Structure 1
Amino acid sequence: MKKLALLISFAAMMIFSGCASTTQGGAVGIDRSQFITVSEAEMDQSAALAYRQITAQANAKHVLNTDKKLTDRVRGISKRLIAQVGAFRKDALKWNWQVNVINDPTINAWCMPGGRIVVYTGIIEKLKLTDAELAAILGHEMSHALREHSRERASTEQMKDVGIAVASSAAGLGDLGSAALNMAAQYTFTLPFSRTHETEADLMGVELMA
């Protein structure tokens, strides 16, 4: 019972202390209160390590920024978008933004926390993107970082794990019970958040591009 009480107290403390908005609303008015408990420093450190690993591996395979013209194009568009991030958060203007292009057929692009961007050549070449279309994609991905959706998602997962522990302890369930509750949380709590994140990134990305 003592363990259960501690878990409940910890969960309550996280809920009441973790609600805020990471950005200003901008013209599109994105001001939803976010549940965040994972520290910015922790997330940034994790993102920095992952980004170094990804770019180092790409460099070792000789697929990192192999086309100077294309790399300059992506970086040029990114630079113009980065100049506008102050509309949502002034501190992001001082982020150590990094932009790299990986020669890979994957149709994808992403921006890690702290402004660490990778664009795969596949999304540009296969979709024959114009500068405006590429700006729309980059703006969307940058908005995920500005809005700190990764940190919010990590906080949600952290809280979900605490909730599972509380429910399992109260019900006297073992590992099997926890696994079942985890599956329920995934489909009733985590997935709807992703839709919210995508909508926010769409709206913010359009403003950055404009």
Structure 2
Amino acid sequence: MTPDITSAYERRCHLLMRLAYPPRFREFRGAELLSTLLDLAEPGQHHPTMRDCVDVLRGGFMLRLREHPPLWYWLPYQMFDFRLPWRYRWWARDDIQGRFFLERRLIFGALIYGLYFALAQSTLPYWIPGLMFGVAYLLSLLTKASMRRKRLAKYEFHPDGTSYVYVPRSPVVRPANEADEHPPL
């Protein structure tokens, strides 16, 4: 393949992988998947075949589905910021570092509180919930960085998303000698 075609094909493969897989997978396995897609390319091919696209999208969807926490863990995490079990900590990292994290949280909260206002048949003017959402969004923008730092620390991640390194302490092993042995009784 010529360099122009390779770079166009490679760009399209990167876009396809960005749509399909979470950032963590692309970070650790992205080069492997990209090299496989480049090996599958025919000479002069400008974009991945439809079959390759469907396979990559299906694989990414299945990975995201497999790693997503169940509803009984996810709902309290979204509503009340409960901590997810250890098994889902990398998913939480991807969620916290993802695009529109703040907007997803606020829209979910607006839906829950909007449902509450609708069921309570409130006599508030129609513009009050919109005003409340706007004020909450503006206040959240001010604390966005600290909110991400706190939530990442909750799951034992540094602000840049790298995991804390846990170094287990090795037990002290002393050589056995005659002075340490107890005489039989």
Q: TM-score scaled to structure 2, two decimals?
A: 0.29
Larger RCO of the pair (alpha carbons < 8 Å, separation 6+): 1
Query: Comparing both structures, which one devotes a greater share of its residues to strand?
Result: 1
- When Rg is computed on C-alpha atoms for both structures, the one with the higher figure is 2
Q: TM-score scaled to structure 1, two decimals?
A: 0.26
